[in-house]
């Protein structure tokens, strides 16, 4: 009996084993990864910016609580941060003012306002501000985009 060697020229092409991927298969995989990245990267950047805005909201909420404690003791709102009894550090990605202003043209005996402005690059959202007053988030004086506003879910 004669034996035929594997992968000999007389063996049919279909019987040979294939190794590796074709150019078409690799192209399809690259296109799928590109489409997933096109949808995923903007969503990731939006979530990162929302977390940075959330840091400002948490800080301003702590300021509001400290202002209410000061008001309960003194009968007026504090004009300077040094007067408040808060330990929370200032937000990293926002410019931080050191004094309060009276909101609505009033005085610090009845109202206060504090605005934080986004410093540096903001993932395509540009510069925006977050304003709090004695009532909490002040949407009339804030211009944070709705897509990254942590108070809008």
Residue 102 lies inside a defined structural domain of this protein: yes
Q: Which residues of the chain have pLDDT under 50?
A: 153
pLDDT attached to residue 5 = 54
Residue 74 lies inside a defined structural domain of this protein: yes
Residue 9 lies inside a defined structural domain of this protein: no
pLDDT attached to residue 4 = 53
pLDDT attached to residue 99 = 83
Chain mean pLDDT for the chain: 86
pLDDT in tens, 56-73: 999 999 999 999 999 999
Which of the 8 DSSP states describes residue 105?
G
> In the chain, what is the greatest distance between 2 CA atoms, to the nearest angstrom?
110
CB 144 within 8 A of CB 128: yes
Q: Which residues contact 18 (CB under 8 A, 6 or more apart)?
A: none
CATH number at residue 55: 3.30.700
Residue 85 lies inside a defined structural domain of this protein: yes
Residue 59 lies inside a defined structural domain of this protein: yes
Residues spanned by the domain of 55:
24-148
Q: Would you state the structure tokens that stand for residue 138, as one six-digit string?
A: 């002040």
Number of domains present in the structure of the chain: 1
Residue 8 lies inside a defined structural domain of this protein: no
State residue 24 phi and psi, 5-degree precision: -65, -45
Residue 1 lies inside a defined structural domain of this protein: no
Residue 93 lies inside a defined structural domain of this protein: yes
């Amino acid at each position: 009996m004669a034996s035929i060697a594997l992968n000999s020229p007389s063996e049919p092409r279909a019987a040979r084993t294939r190794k590796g991927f074709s150019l078409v298969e690799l192209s399809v995989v690259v296109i799928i990864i590109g489409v997933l990245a096109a949808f995923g990267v903007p969503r990731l950047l939006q979530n990162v910016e929302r977390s940075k805005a959330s840091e400002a909201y948490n800080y301003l909420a702590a300021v509001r609580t400290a202002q209410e404690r000061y008001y309960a003791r003194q009968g007026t709102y504090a004009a300077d941060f040094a007067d408040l009894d808060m330990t929370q550090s200032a937000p990293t990605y926002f410019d931080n003012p050191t004094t309060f202003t009276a909101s609505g043209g009033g005085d610090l005996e009845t109202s206060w306002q504090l605005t934080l402005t986004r410093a540096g690059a903001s993932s395509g959202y540009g510069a925006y501000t977050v304003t709090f007053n004695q009532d909490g988030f002040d949407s009339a004086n804030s211009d944070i985009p709705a897509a990254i506003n942590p108070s809008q879910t």
